[in-house]
Structure 1
Amino acid sequence: MNSLRALNSEAVLRFGPYAFHLQQRLILEGDRPLRMGGRALDILQVLVERAGEVVSKDELIAQVWPTSVVEEINLRVHIAALRRALGDGQNGQRYIVNIPQRGYSFVAPVEQVPAGMLVLFETVQRHQHNLPARLTPVTGRDSIVGSLVRQLPVRRLMTLAGPGGIGKTTVALRVAELLLQHYEDGVWLVDFAAIDDPARVADHLIQTLELEVGTTLNVLANRHTLLVFDNCEHLLERCRTLVEDLLILAPRLSILVTSREPLQAVGETVQRLASLAVPPASALHSVAEAMGYSAVQLFVSRARARQQGIALREQDLKAVREICRRLDGLPLAIELAAGQIDALALVGLQAQLDNCFQLLTQGRRTAVPRHQTLKAALDWSYERLGEREQTVLQRLSVFKMSFTLDAAIGVSSCAVLKPDLLAALVERLVAKSLLSKDQVNGTSRYCFLNTTRRYALEKLEMSGQQRVFERRFSHYISRVRRASGVPLPMELVE
């Protein structure tokens, strides 16, 4: 079967009930196309052209991702998707076999047949999805993507939550791509970002699904479909009601939500999306070691796209780490920073980070407005806060490190914001992904992302209250220090 390696682009390969049209990157089962992502097709082509051989995992990764650093789990996710799409293991038919410690092998017989007349896409059943074409690889999200792909068909309602710029939509779309072949009636992206009126939510869904005006949601009752509800944070109540109704109406329906705040819907599983991994200072001994961290991978990948031939050197590692750390490992911020590499170079970029909201202003013109700049992403969250939530966010920005609720109350409470109310507002900011909350030795501690804190501090300065609350912070620290008799870290008191 080695002769299959020299195939021309018009070749058609047959195996089982499938025909793989290489030129059109199309797999047909009869006249029905299999819904499959581009990477999965790349992997399948390598395996089919070398049917009967064992192709190592490293070799597959090198051929399918020649310019990217990816983890092995990414390959496993795609292999699993391929097996599902092909019905591998059903009715005794096997296609892709894992050879322990060696790699993968395509074990079904493959034959090359004359291409004949090329299949016209117009004659093939229409792909049932509206997912946008992905222009760049997804970096550092293999683990959570794999988890969502496995869980979503079973749990049915999952919400991907996190702050603006963390990459929720990117992850959701990747999950949707990998599940294309699982849902018989398609996968549909429903973006609510452009809608402010809750009364339009159901109509927007119907319009996105390209249903006739006046159609009711009952049409979905028997559909095996995945809906991706993107950007729901400003329509929480209506989206919550809609998804609860849909899941009762359509038992084969699954819904993946992205939102800066969970819906609090019945049956909802919430998955918080973390920042990309930033290397510690101890991981800067070699370029290879630093490139093992997803924040660095993304920065280098986007910098190379901006400036061909750029190479990461050992003398660059401290600057790159500092850029990624100061930007909290936020994919949006890192992408925007890497986009400035040709104008400022690394040293200039690092020096300008104190002015990050002015610096990071040149995003992709094709992106939605809230993703074109870092400030726009934060504006989107801030403008949807209540007045008291905005006030608390501003006042808490005087904390340079993590803090307890007692500290927040000691610095920020007043006659209007009494302790009980302030505690509730702090939790609301956590729910809206503007603060993070962790348990440390049994005590809840709250923390800002660096970028969010800087944004809130600018708002506090604009309010004319910055010096007032910096003094209150200093007085609180002094009282705690006197009461404990233990000096506090200098970064808290400087």
Structure 2
Amino acid sequence: MNSLDELSSASVLRFGPYAFHLRQRLILEGDRQLRMGGRALDILQVLVERAGRVVSKEQLIALVWPNSVVEEINLRVHIAALRRALGDGENGQRYIVNVPQCGYSFVAPVQGDSVAQVVFESLQVPQHNLPARLTPVTGRDSLVGGLVRQLPLSRLITVTGPAGVGKSTVALRAAELLLQHFRDGVWQVDLSLIDKDIPLLDHLLKTLDIDFPTLSARHALLVLDNCEHLHEACRSLLQNLLDAAPRLSILATCREPLRLGLEVLQPLPPLTTPKTSALNSVDEVMGYSAVQLFVSRARARQHGFHLREQDLETVRDICRRLDGLPLAIELAAAQIDALALVGLQSQLDHGLQVLSHGRRTAVPRHQSMCAALDWSYQRLSKQEQRVLQRLSVFKMAFTLDAAIGVISCAQLPPSMLVSVVEQLAAKSLLTTDRSSGTLRYRMLNTTRRYARERLEQGGELNDVERRHARYQGRTRPASSGRLTAQFVEQ
């Protein structure tokens, strides 16, 4: 085996049946060219030039992504792709091994060749129009990894969830990690920027700068973001694409399912928040992704910020009241230098105003929590808007019977109310829970505050609250004063 200096100066590195042509940035197996993305080749070059040595994960990331913030999952995905491309493990041949707690090592014999080589056509770095990511993605490694594994096998995956939960962030992160897999690139189309009068297919073809017959032959990934904006038009477009383009994969984000035959749903839950029983130490609380995000964004805003034991209950309460929603947590953490922790906690008592100062560079619907909720609310029917407002009097989970008992009226008879509640749940404005055997609905705190403000503006708050109080009185056992199972604390 050659020394590190000799391998670093070689123009071709040979191992097994492969020849890695460094200047041409390609790998040949005989005369067959292996397809790999630029990052995968960078990782392979670092490992092959240090064959027989263990390279730590931190060192690999620093060498391959010197100017970027990258999570370990990115490295793992590229390593897995390299192993598949090289047939690592097939017929007993091993190339890259994971050394637990240490890193990776290239274990096959490597020979360096400095003789001038024939210049081959180099591999193309996959094309894309994905936006640059400025901050790490917190708490989503497992879910992103699942999408990365599923997408090459599934034609259509839809990431669903409520406003501010991070659907676009997760979809774009998965798309980044799949750049090397799709020969014809990865392309994002943000449907929130498209006017309803513009034909969707025309806009898509213009974005990709191709015609439809060319698109149907492409091996590419389309990221269709914010499909709720043009729900019916999206369903029609996607059905046509799935029928006409067999090598096309589609990753969609939407606040409700698209209801297509090949659709695989990926609901996106909020980040995890600690329970009161988990407030034993800073290390324990930092194991929850909502706290991790809050602390990282607070540090970016206030130099020297660190979580202390006396802060644990306050930070837990802030994250819980923000429902573990990444957008809400980021907006709240942006106020840390002006309000400090206790002030921020206090301001949450006054509604969503504290969540109204976001990044100026963000799209309008992400500049405040109200704007994000407006995006959903404005797409509801008048009946759905009214039901959402009236349901905001429930501070705890409720059954359908409770909803009928409290908010039904001449304009909202029970038969209609059942259907509208189901529609609101499908659109991620209500969450559902069947853990007790009975279907219960609940509104996130941020959504409830938004809807309650709308109810108050409409002049119905006092009336609906009185009905809610009377209903509670009828369902409360006289002996204990406790609520029945129709009401469950959040």
One fold, TM greater than 0.5?
yes
What's 1:258 paired with? 253
Distance in 2 of aligned mates of 1:280 and 1:49:
48
Q: Does 1:236 align with 2:238?
A: no
* Residue 352 (structure 1) shift: 1.1
Return the alpha-carbon distance in structure 2 between the equivalents of residues 339 and 143 of structure 1. Answer: 27
Alpha-carbon distance in 1 for matches of 2:385, 2:294: 32
Counterparts in 2 of 1:381 and 1:455: CA distance versus 1, 3 Å? same
Q: State the match for 1:207 in structure 2.
A: 206
For residues 281 and 5 of structure 1, the distance between their equivalents in structure 2, rounded to whole angstroms, comes to 56
Which residue of structure 1 aligns with residue 410 of structure 2?
A: 415
1:344–1:107: structure 2 CA closer, same or farther, 3 Å change rule?
A: same
Shift of 1:441: 2.3
Look up the equivalent residue of 1:188 and give its one-letter code. W
Name the counterpart of 1:222.
217
Which piece of structure 1 moves more, 352-361 or 244-253? 352-361
Contact 2:400 2:418 (C-alpha < 8 Å) held by counterparts: yes
Aligned residue in 2 for 1:467: 462
Paired with 1:145 and 1:407, the residues of 2 have a C-alpha distance of: 37
**Match of 1:440, SS?**
coil
Among 430, 445, 452, the residue aligned to 2:447: 452
The structural deviation recorded for 1:12 is: 8.1
Partner residue in 1 for 2:482: 488
Paired AA for residue 488 in structure 1: R
Structure 1 residue 177 and structure 2 residue 172: aligned? no
The counterpart of 2:37, out of the listed 35, 38, 52, is 35
2:54 alignment partner AA? V
- The 1:14–1:451 alpha-carbon spacing in structure 2 relative to 1, beyond 3 Å, is farther
Matches within 5 A, 1:84-99: 84=84, 88=88, 94-99=94-99
Match of 2:160 in 1: 161
What whole-Å deviation, never above 9, does each CA across 1:228-252 have from its counterpart, x for those lacking one?
Answer: 1100002111111111111111111
Partner of 2:135: 136
How big is the shift at 1:13? Answer: 8.6
Contact 1:198 1:238 in 2 (8 A): no
Residues 310 and 250 of structure 1: CA distance in aligned 2, closer, same or farther (over 3 Å):
same
Q: How does 1:106-121 map to 2 (within 5 A)?
A: 106-108=106-108
Query: 2: distance between equivalents of 1:479 and 1:405?
Result: 16
Letter of the structure 2 residue corresponding to residue 184 of structure 1: R
> Deviation at 1:79?
3.0
1:271 maps to a residue whose letter is Q
Match of 2:400 among 401, 405, 428: 405
Kept in 2, the 8 Å contact 1:81–1:179? The answer is no
User: Cα–Cα, structure 1 residues 78 and 50, in superposed 2: closer, same or farther, change >3 Å?
Assistant: same
- Go from structure 1 to structure 2 and tell me whether the alpha carbon gap of 1:473 and 1:61 turns closer, same or farther (over 3 Å shift): farther
CA contact (8 A) 1:70 1:139 kept: no
- The CA distance in 2 between the partners of 1:6 and 1:313, in whole Å, is 51
The corresponding residue for 1:357 is 352
Assess, with a 3 A threshold, how the Cα gap between structure 1 residues 35 and 415 changes in structure 2: closer, same or farther: same
Per the TM alignment, residue 192 of structure 1 is displaced from its structure 2 partner at its CA by 0.4
Alignment of 1:187-336 (within 5 A): 187-197=186-196, 199-211=198-210, 215=211, 217-336=212-331
Counterparts in 2 of 1:312 and 1:46: CA distance versus 1, 3 Å: farther
Q: Greater shift after overlay, 228-237 or 77-86?
A: 77-86
CA shift, 1:33, in A, is 8.5
Gaps of 5+ in 1: none
In the TM superposition, residue 201 of structure 1 has moved relative to its aligned partner by 0.8
Identify the residue that residue 151 of structure 2 maps to in structure 1.
Answer: 152
How many angstroms apart in 2 are the aligned matches of 1:152 and 1:436? 26
Map of 1:434 onto structure 2 = 429
Moved more, 308-317 or 85-94: 85-94
Residues 182 and 413 of structure 1, relative CA distance in 2, 3 Å threshold: same
Give the AA of the match of 2:187: W
**Paired residue secondary structure (1:352):** helix
Deviation at 1:83, TM superposition (A): 3.3
Q: Check the 8 A contact 2:472/2:483 in 1, yes or no.
A: no
Show CA shifts across 1:9-59 (max 9, x none). x998956544568xxxx955589994356xx78866764564312356688
Distance 1:474 1:20, change over 3 A: farther
Q: From the superposition, tell whether residues 394 and 6 of structure 1 become closer, same or farther in structure 2 (CA, over 3 Å).
A: farther
Q: Distance in 2 between matches of 1:455 and 1:461?
A: 10
Q: Alpha carbons of 1:245 and 1:442: their partners in 2 closer, same or farther (altered >3 Å)?
A: same
* 1:321-364 alpha-carbon deviations (Å, 9 max, x no partner): 11111111100111111111222221221111123521122222
**Aligned CA distance change for structure 1 residues 62 and 219 (closer, same or farther; 3 Å):** closer
Amino acid paired to 2:341 = L
Deviation of 1:3 after TM superposition, in Å, equals 7.0
Whether the 8 Å contact between 1:327 and 1:450 is mirrored in structure 2 is yes
CA RMSD of aligned residues (A): 3.7
Between stretches 398-407 and 184-193, larger displacement belongs to 184-193
Aligned partners of 2:360 and 2:41: how far apart in 1?
29
Q: Distance in 2 between matches of 1:153 and 1:263?
A: 20
Contact 1:5 / 1:50 at 8 angstroms: preserved in 2?
A: no
TM-score, scaled relative to structure 1: 0.85
Distance 2:58 2:308 in 1: 24
How much has 1:410 moved relative to structure 2? 0.6
Of stretches 311-320 and 135-144 in structure 1, the one that deviates more from structure 2 is: 311-320
Measure the CA separation in 2 of the matches of 1:260 and 1:460. 23
Q: Quick check: 1:397–1:453 contact (8 Å CA) kept in 2?
A: yes
SS in 2 for 1:452: helix
* TM-score, normalised with respect to structure 2: 0.86
Q: Which residue of 1 aligns with 2:104?
A: 104
- Percent of aligned positions with the same letter in both sequences? 64
1:396-434 per-position Cα deviation (integer Å, ceiling 9, x unaligned): 000000000000111111112111110110011011110
**The one of 336, 344, 354 aligned to 1:341:** 336
The answer to whether the 8 A contact 2:425-2:432 is kept is yes
